[in-house]
Amino acid sequence: MVQEMEKHLREKLIPFWEGLADWQNGGFYGYLGYELKLERQAVKGCILNSRILWFFSHAYRMLKQESLLVYAEHAFLFLRDSCLDKKFGGVYWAMTWDGKACDETKHTYSQAFAVYALSSYYMASGRKEALELAYGLYGLIEERCRDGNGYGEAFGREFRPASNEKLSENGVMAARTMNTLLHVFEAYTELYRADHRADVADKMREILDVFADKVYNPGKRRQEVFFDEGWNSLIDLHSYGHDIEASWLLDRGCQVLGDKAYIQKLEPVVLALAKEVYQRAYRDHSLMNECENGVDDTDRIWWVQAEAVVGFLNAWEKWPDKRCFLEASEDIWGYISRVAVDPRDGSEWFWRVDESGKPVEGEPIVEPWKCPYHNGRMCMEVMGRMRRGGGSAAEG
């Protein structure tokens, strides 16, 4: 599996995303339709470009290929020069094709991914400016996006609270989401790895407490997804992809912290999430999407499959006697190779396929959420873990 992952990374993912660099206007093109028609004047999502910055930075750290750092720098310059609001601070939601703000929303989720990307770029390049920008956004999240009970979600340009359509789904409007909190935690994990500042570690512990005490539902062995301001769940929803992703991201954060008390506190949650997803969602060599009000969405989503490979591998590494997790990880990678990867030249992965494995036509190959973050990370996590005999690739 390791050799296959590296081949896929080197020969499919990296060349595809290199080909989307916009050398004239900065950043990376924001939309490639199902028919593989590139829209050069599509909006450029700031989350998309942050994730691309992370991808090339981390790929450089793993593969030591100098050209990857060139693409990382290209992404960094677009983030620094266009996506950051020089007047009010923070990262916009989206830019025009030529680098002007077209959606001035300041979302906590978007700030977090910029921290994540800048921290990784600093570790790849040694560029102090990137770390300084990451700390600036970290401070802004803590000062402007946080309240007495957690992290808010959406804000206007001047950080006045706004409605949260961007991270709310399934017919609810959430004041807090598991998804945003998870990726704030992931961003802080990367920032702490880059610089080991004590206050960042303290924030990570606080977030872990929220996951263990408010987000995780021990009765249903799952995370709740959408909440009101008081952390009351708004909907009966089991997000299989987010649960398997959280199982390894929370575990990785605990390991990076090296705090035995939090490792012990979160370990039962990590195992429960992985086991429940395995039992409920792992069907026909792949993972179903989610379950709302007891009804499964049986489509197979690209990022859910990628996270399942890593999440089940992580569970097997922690509990080697549970070989079913390793077998599931390998099985899902086989499914990805056969079904999820688009075999057409000039493409990458399909966004979704139906239960029978048929691609859902009309779903784009690239758009503001469709990026090399999940599948690229999958490749690098598996490569790093299996070559070193265990442990997250992101720890090195």
How far apart, in whole angstroms, are the C-alpha atoms of residue 250 and residue 101?
A: 33
Residues 6 or more apart from 181 whose CB is under 8 A from it?
150, 151, 207, 210, 211, 215
Q: For residue 249, give the nearest of 196, 184, 328, 330 by alpha carbon.
A: 184
**What single-letter amino acid sits at 124?**
A
Residues 6 or more apart from 180 whose CB is under 8 A from it?
107, 108, 109, 112, 151, 153, 167
Reported as half-sphere exposure (CB side, CA atoms, 13 A), residue 72 has a value of 26
Per-residue pLDDT tens over the stretch 19-31: 999 999 999 999 9
8 Å CB contact between 26 and 49: no
Using the structure block, give the residue that is written with the tokens 């007891």: 294
Supply the mean pLDDT for the chain: 96
How far apart, in whole angstroms, are the C-alpha atoms of residue 372 and residue 252?
A: 20
- The contacts found for 336-340 with CB under 8 angstroms, 24 or more apart, are 336/305, 336/306, 336/309, 337/4, 337/8, 339/286, 339/300, 340/300, 340/302, 340/305
Residue 342: CB atoms within 10 Å: 18
Range of the domain at 219: 2-395
Q: For residue 266, give the nearest of 191, 216, 331, 335 by alpha carbon.
A: 216
Per-residue pLDDT tens over the stretch 140-149: 999 999 999 9
CA angle 34, 40, 45 (to 5 degrees): 80
Please check the confidence at residue 93 and state whether its pLDDT lies above 50. yes
List 106's β-bridge partners, or say none.
Answer: 155
Radius of gyration, alpha carbons of the chain: 19
Distance of CA 179 to the CA centre of its chain: 9
How far apart, in whole angstroms, are the C-alpha atoms of residue 195 and residue 279?
A: 39
Please check the confidence at residue 314 and state whether its pLDDT lies above 50. yes
Please check the confidence at residue 396 and state whether its pLDDT lies above 50. no
How far apart, in whole angstroms, are the C-alpha atoms of residue 201 and residue 90?
A: 22
How far apart, in whole angstroms, are the C-alpha atoms of residue 178 and residue 303?
A: 17
CA angle 372, 374, 378 (to 5 degrees): 105
Helices (H) and strands (E) in the chain — how many of each?
13, 18
3-state secondary structure of 323: helix
Per-residue pLDDT tens over the stretch 287-298: 999 999 999 999
Here the CATH number for the domain that contains residue 246 is 1.50.10.10
Please check the confidence at residue 388 and state whether its pLDDT lies above 90. no
Per-residue pLDDT tens over the stretch 204-246: 999 999 999 999 999 999 999 999 999 999 999 999 999 999 9
Using the structure block, give the residue that is written with the tokens 């048929």: 358
How far apart, in whole angstroms, are the C-alpha atoms of residue 151 and residue 193?
A: 22
Average pLDDT over residues 357-372: 96
pLDDT of residue 392: 53
pLDDT of residue 77: 98
List 349's β-bridge partners, or say none.
Answer: 341
Which pLDDT band holds residue 387 (cuts at 50, 70, 90)? Answer: confident
Q: Note if the pTM is more than 0.75.
A: yes
How far apart, in whole angstroms, are the C-alpha atoms of residue 270 and residue 30?
A: 35
Q: How many domains does the chain have?
A: 1
The arrangement of strands across the sheet holding 295-297 comes to: 237-239, 290-292, 295-297
8 Å CB contact between 139 and 111: no
Average pLDDT over residues 337-351: 98
Per-residue pLDDT tens over the stretch 166-187: 999 999 999 999 999 999 999 9
Which pLDDT band holds residue 395 (cuts at 50, 70, 90)? Answer: very low
3-state secondary structure of 327: helix
pLDDT of residue 342: 98
